């Protein structure tokens, strides 16, 4: 199969993005366009403009003709794990949105006569399960439970792209610190109201990354030919929920005296409470080894950047 010539970071690229309306995707699109790159957005309806490509992950459909000439694809689409209380129906939606979506994209790319150089597939630290206080990097095996099983299937669904000779990098992303959305988007208003506090005993590790560094890391994966396979996108120093609580209170100048007990979280969140109370101490081994530099490496840096 014919291959495009490798591009350098300074080369103008044509990049397709799924999940382009989400927190990370919209920030990535803005960043790419600000630097002069052409961006195609995959949308779940007929395309209305020249920068849109229709797809329907549930039907495993992508308008592959709209992807002709792309240099890179960043696949970020998937139902939010914290958007709703988990029950069996929503857990199926979480799985299907990731596995079917990834299969649809990878099969479409594999069908192209001149496929793109790289597919960056956004996955999650859920791969590792609960690691307790033990620090892990990309060499760690998959954990046990619902999210690890989803992540295993999710990454496996990109096999057609790999088999077509496309470089595939799995961006295993941590908790993104941003006030506009995601988990932290819910924390900011609670803490600003003086109602913040630790969750459970607060000893569980949270592996975080600032939104700025998340976007920069995704672009680094696109631009770095040596990076394929799993790459953890998380800041170098994971912190406990207790430390997050103290930092949020200090940065926002609000008290954080409350505690959300585990039974209350389980009542509100369903099965997802186990992941909120679980501990993930995950390190960005391959990212730092490849020369990536964090703009906001500490939790204090990340929260201040998001707050201001």
Instruction: Tell me phi and psi for residue 129, to 5 degrees.
Output: 65, -155
pLDDT band, very low/low/confident/very high, at 19 (cuts 50, 70, 90): very high
Over the chain, what is the mean pLDDT? 91
pTM of the model: 0.93
Q: What is the DSSP string of the chain?
A: ---PPP--TTS--EEEEESTTSHHHHHHHHHHHHTT-EEEEEESS---STTEEEEEGGGTEE-GGGGTT-SEEEE-----TTSS-B-HHHHHHHHHHHHHHHHHHHHHHHTSSS--SEEEEEEEGGGG---TT-EE-TTSPP-SSHHHHHHHHHHHTTHHHHHTT-EEEEEEE-EEE-SSSHHHHHHHHHHHTT--EEETTS-SEE-EEEHHHHHHHHHHHHH-TT--EEEEES-SS-EEHHHHHHHHHHHHT----EEE-HHHHHHHHBTTHHHHHS--EE--HHHHHTT---SS-SHHHHHHHHH-
Instruction: Tell me phi and psi for residue 73, to 5 degrees.
Output: -130, 130
Question: Rounded mean pLDDT of 90-100?
Answer: 92
* pLDDT tens sequence across 116-164: 999 999 999 999 999 999 999 999 999 999 999 999 999 999 999 999 9
pLDDT value at residue 1: 46
Q: Residue 166: pLDDT above 70?
A: yes
pLDDT band, very low/low/confident/very high, at 173 (cuts 50, 70, 90): very high
Please give the structure tokens belonging to residue 37.
Answer: 């790159």
Question: Rounded mean pLDDT of 77-84?
Answer: 78
* pLDDT tens sequence across 33-66: 999 999 999 999 999 999 999 999 999 999 999 9
């Amino acid at each position: 199969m014919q291959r495009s010539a490798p591009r350098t970071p300074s080369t103008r690229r044509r990049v397709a993005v799924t999940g382009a309306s989400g927190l990370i995707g919209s920030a990535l699109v803005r960043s790419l366009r600000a630097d002069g790159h052409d961006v195609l957005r995959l949308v779940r309806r007929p395309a209305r403009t020249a920068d849109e490509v229709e797809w329907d992950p549930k039907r495993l459909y992508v308008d592959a003709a709209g992807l002709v000439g792309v240099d890179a694809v960043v696949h970020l689409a998937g139902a939010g794990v914290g958007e709703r209380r988990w029950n069996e129906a929503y857990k199926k939606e979480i799985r299907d949105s990731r596995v079917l979506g990834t299969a649809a994209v990878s099969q479409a790319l594999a069908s192209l006569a001149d496929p793109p150089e790289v597919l960056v597939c956004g996955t999650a630290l859920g791969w590792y399960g609960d690691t307790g206080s033990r620090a892990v990097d990309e060499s760690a095996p998959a954990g046990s439970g619902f999210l690890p099983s989803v992540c295993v299937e999710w990454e496996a669904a990109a096999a057609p792209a790999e088999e077509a000779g496309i470089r595939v990098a799995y961006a295993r992303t941590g908790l993104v610190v941003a006030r506009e959305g995601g988990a932290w988007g819910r924390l900011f208003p609670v803490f600003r109201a003086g109602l913040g506090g630790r969750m459970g005993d607060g000893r569980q590790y949270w592996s975080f990354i600032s939104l700025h560094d998340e976007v920069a890391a995704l672009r680094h994966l696109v631009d770095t030919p040596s990076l394929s396979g799993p790459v953890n996108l998380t800041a170098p120093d994971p912190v406990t929920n207790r430390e997050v609580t103290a930092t949020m209170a200090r940065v926002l100048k609000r008290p954080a005296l409350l505690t959300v007990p585990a039974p209350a979280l389980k009542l509100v969140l369903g099965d997802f409470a186990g992941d909120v109370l679980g501990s993930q101490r995950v390190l960005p081994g391959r990212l730092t080894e490849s020369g990536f530099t964090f703009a906001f490496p500490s939790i204090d840096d990340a929260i201040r950047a998001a707050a201001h």
